[in-house]
Amino acid sequence: MKGSPINIFALGGLGEVGKNTYCIENDRSLILVDAGVRFPEANLPGVDYVIPDYTYLKDNRAKIKGLFITHGHEDHIGGIPFLLRTVRIPVIYAPRLAAALIRHKLEDSRFRDPVKIVEYDSDSVIKIADDFVVSFFRVTHSIPDSFGLCIDTSEGRIIETGDFKIDLTPVGPNFEINKLSELGSQGVDLLMADSTNAEIEGYTPSETAVRHGVEEIFDKAIGRIIVSTFSSNINRIQQVVEVAVAHKRKICVLGRSMKNVIGIARELGYIKIPDQSIIQENQLKNYRNSEVCIVCTGSQGEPMAALSRIVSGDNRFTQIYPGDTVVFSSNPIPGNGALVDRLVNKLVRLGADVKQNSMAFSLHSSGHPSRQELRLMQRLVNPAYFMPVHGEYRMLKLHGEIAKQLGMPDDHIFICDNGDQIVLQNHTVRRGGQVPAGAKYIDGLDLDGVSSQTMNDREILKNDGMVSVLMVTDKRHNKLLVPPMLYTRGFNSAEDSHVVRHSQMKAQQCVQELMSRNASYAEIKSSLKDVLSKYIQRKTDRRPMIIPVIMEAR
């Protein structure tokens, strides 16, 4: 391998949970690690996904040699259709399950150009030109086939953990701890590791610890059992269906993403459900309540997901019956707590017995490492330099402090934002330059994204409402034929009548004065916005969107 400095940076995944997209490049070649999306927060009305700004990749498209996927979660593969619309990716390297999920995703988004997908496993070694050699170690996480990457370059070795927890009694194959420690003992220059749970002390409980709680529910329940969790949590779904089959219950899967994922995972043998144990929703009526287990999406209280739809009577085939046991096998993501609470109240009102995860009753275990596992990762890899990844700023910071507690010098720890480059050269790492790394908001089917101006407008409409001003003029005689009329949205009625009356008077004065000076429509509109916005802000403390509409009589 010939030497040139290695730039390492994120286009997404730092200062946020989601849209993981990391770049590793030298002067000839660039490889990507993961291409994720982020799901929007409540302050982004109408947005379905947030993706990275791919400008840097567009500008350096000739250098792109491949995309490595660590595992099949949306925050690691969800950006692929958008990325492929922006630049050509010669090869996507992915583990088997992720590869199947990616193929399905590309069919689903009607992506026509064929893209080469190469499946790797734990023994694969992939050479990228003369520049990078990538090998893999299996990790444990909430989806099967999760891997960390070892990237050897002319300047040193980089380890990227992907999402992981160190689960010693996993569902599925073991974490390849020996392999990782072997890589570590050969010398690792830079570690990039998952920070999602850096705020939580101790060890994340094993995935199999959840099984006991699930079994207890199945032992006791008399009516139907409805289990909702993330469709991406395949290891959990596998445990639930095994317990259901053992309790002689038929399994009915509800929710589009849940059906997709279970379909693909069954086909590849990651979830085993005998054909006779699966029933469709229109067959539910043929079975007694004690013979049924529904597995569905909606554990975050999402109004459009399967569980909410059953509750609100939107499902043609089923509803909630008194005596149903509803299991939330997940924790609310921060920000979703209120939605979940609302859904739980509705369920209880309908007579369901709701079981949620708690300290006393374990129905969920995170797929990410807590602080003891992060320490163990540092000890195993023993890196010279460290860049915490996958996490909000405070998580990255805490993760950095863990490395420091274990003896790493302060200036070997790089807490970065998206777009900040660090440079690996001759086994040392230093800070580098900056690349553009904003966010793009995707609304509906338009893959080109919504501008931040549009997001701004939606924010204004949501918080401050809207005022439209309508008038009719006779431009030839420079006369106002119909004086300005105001229509408001989002104001309360007391504010409304008073402010509307006075605003109309102000608007009329303003327009008449401008017309007497023969002002253009553009001038009239901008003065109107100015005058009304100042007045309304003074009176109501709001800054609504103001839309003047001038009609000309002919």
* Chain residues that interact with Zn ion, rule: CB under 5 A: 73, 163
Cβ atoms of 19 and 442 closer than 8 Å: no
**What is the Cα 459 distance to its own chain's centre?**
21
The tokens of 488 are what?
């408001």
Q: Min. distance of Cβ 70 from Zn ion in angstroms? A: 8
DSSP state of 174: P
Give Dmax over CA atoms of the chain in angstroms. 88
- The rounded Cα 31 to chain-centroid distance in angstroms is 22
CB of 37 to Zn ion, least distance (A): 12
Spatial neighbors of 510 by CB under 8 A, at least 6 apart, are 527, 528, 531
CB of 438 to Zn ion, least distance (A): 24
Based on CB atoms, which residue is closest to Zn ion, 227 or 234? 234
And the tokens for 281?
Answer: 């929703």
* Closest residue by Cα to residue 546 from 499, 512, 494: 499
CB of 407 vs Zn ion, minimal distance in Å: 29
- Strands 132-139 and 91-94, by their bridges, are unpaired
In the bound state with Zn ion, the residue whose beta carbon lies nearer, of 7 and 70, is: 70
Cβ closest to Zn ion, residue 140 vs residue 503: 140
**Closest CB 390 distance from Zn ion, rounded Å:** 9
Q: What is the DSSP string of 444-493?
A: TTEEEEE-HHHHHHHHHHHHH-EEEEEEEEETTTTEEEEEEEEEEES--H
Toward Zn ion, which CB reaches closer, 137 or 218? 137
Q: Which is nearer to Zn ion, 73 or 399 (CB)?
A: 73
Q: Which is nearer to Zn ion, 389 or 545 (CB)?
A: 389
Which is closer to Zn ion, CB of 120 or CB of 132? 120
CB of 62: closest distance to Zn ion in angstroms?
31
The answer for residues whose C-beta is within 8 angstroms of residue 469's C-beta and 6 or more apart is 484, 485, 486, 507, 528, 532, 546, 547, 548, 549
The CA-atom distances, in angstroms, between 507 and each of 434, 472, 486, 537 are 48, 13, 9, 15
| Cβ 411 vs Cβ 4: under 8 Å | no
To Zn ion, the closest distance from the beta carbon of 72 in angstroms equals 8
Shortest distance in whole angstroms from residue 163 CB to Zn ion: 3
For residues 163 and 207, which CB has a smaller minimum distance to Zn ion in the complex?
A: 163
